[in-house]
Amino acid sequence: MKFLVSKLALMVATTALMLGSASAQEANIRKNLSERLPNLPKIDEVSKTPMNGLFEIRMGNEVMYSDAEGHFLIQGSLIDVRQRRNLTEERVDKLSAIPFDQLPLKNAFTQVRGNGKRKLVVFADPNCGFCKRFEKDLQKLDNVTIYHFLYPILGEDSRTKSKNVWCAKDKAKVWNDWMIGGTTPPNASCDASAIDAIVAFGQKNRISGTPLLLFADGTRVPGAVPMAQVEKILADIK
C-alpha cells in the first residue's frame, strides 16, 4: 500500500513538474519574441506541435512557428508527410470557422431548392468570374437553402450591381438573371445598408476573396470548388 502511495505521489510530482516546465517554456517564448520583434501582433496562444521542439504561435487567426527558446520564427505550412495532411491549413480553417448562429442572415437573400433542409452560405461579388461559374454549378444542388451575401469588393460597379440586386422585388431572380444569363440588374433604390454591414462582417472575419462558402457546422471553404466537394461537406454534417 505504501509503495502505491509513493508511486502515486511521484506521478503527481512529475506531472506538476512537466506542467511547470511547459508554462515556463511558453513564458520564455512569449518574452523573447515580444522583446525581439516589438511589432509582432499580440500572441494569443503558444502550444506544442506534433514536431519535437516546434511550437505554434497563434496571433488571432494567423499561425506561425517557433523553437522552444523563441530564437527563430517560421512562417509557412507544417505538413505531416506520413498522413499527407497540411496541419497549418487545418488549424487556420478551424480558427477561421464562423458559427452558423453568428451569421447575420437577415442581410442575406435566399433560394430554396427541394426540401431546403441543408444549408449553405455564399459570399459573392457580382463581377467575380469565379462566382458566376460557381453560381451555374449551384443550379445542380437540390434539397438546400442557399443564403446569398452580396459582397462587393471588386470596385464601385460591384457595389452598384449589388445595391440593384438587393433593392429588387425578386432578389434571387435578378441575381440569377445577371450571374447566369448576363442580364444587368435594373436600377433600383432602397436602404442598402445591409450590404455595408456584410462588407464590415466579412472584413472582420478576414473574408478577402469570393466566392466563399460557409456551412452549418462552421466549415469555411474559399473558391469555386467542385459540386462533389460541396455535396460531401453537406452530407457529412449531422
Rounded to whole angstroms, the Cα distance separating 148 from 175 reads 10
Whether 21 shows a pLDDT value over 90: the answer reads: no
Q: Are residues 104 and 220 in the same domain?
A: yes
**In the prediction, which pLDDT does 17 show?**
44
- What type of residue sits at position 170? D
Regarding whether 111 and 6 lie in a shared domain, the answer is: no
pLDDT score for 2: 52
Distances in Å between the alpha carbon of 63 and those of 36, 80, 163, 210?
A: 18, 16, 36, 22
Whole-number pLDDT of residue 238: 75
18 has a pLDDT exceeding 60: no
**Residue 79 DSSP one-character state:** E
Give the domain-ending residue among 79, 95, 111.
95
Q: Tell me the mean pLDDT in the region 97-123.
A: 94
Q: Give 33's contacts (C-beta < 8 A, 6+ positions apart).
A: 40, 43, 57, 66, 70, 73
pLDDT at 11: 52
Q: pTM of the prediction?
A: 0.72
The burial of 13, by beta-carbon neighbours within 10 Å (0-12 exposed, 13-18 middle, 19 or more buried), is given as exposed
Domain containing 30 — which CATH number? 3.10.450.70
Q: What percent of the chain has pLDDT over 90?
A: 74
**Are both 175 and 88 inside the same structural domain?**
no
Using DSSP's 3-state secondary structure scheme, residue 218 falls into: coil
Domain ranges, residue 70: 2-95
Total structural domains within the chain: 2
Final residue of a structural domain among 69, 95, 121: 95
Question: Tell me: the pLDDT tens digits for 41-88?
Answer: 999 999 999 999 999 999 988 899 999 999 999 999 999 999 998 999
- Nearest alpha carbon to residue 146 among 234, 208, 232: 234
Distance of alpha carbon 199 from alpha carbon 220, whole angstroms: 17
Max distance between CA atoms of the chain, in angstroms, equals 86
Q: Give pLDDT, residue 1.
A: 57
CATH number of the domain enclosing 157: 3.40.30.10
Average of per-residue pLDDT values in the chain: 89
Tens-digit pLDDT profile for residues 155-178: 999 999 999 999 999 999 999 999
Query: Are 45 and 113 members of one domain?
Result: no
Percentage above 70 pLDDT, the chain: 91
Identify whether the C-beta of residue 107 lies closer than 8 Å to the C-beta of residue 79. no
User: Which whole number is the average pLDDT over 106-110?
Assistant: 97
Residue ending a domain, choose from 95, 125, 140: 95
Cis upstream peptide for 211 (omega within 30°):
yes
> Beta 118-124 vs 144-150: how paired, if at all?
parallel
Q: Do 62 and 129 fall into the same domain?
A: no
Q: Are residues 38 and 118 in the same domain?
A: no
Q: Are residues 28 and 91 in the same domain?
A: yes
Q: What is the signed CA dihedral for 181, 183, 188, 191, rounded to 10 degrees?
A: 40
Residue 99: the pLDDT is: 87
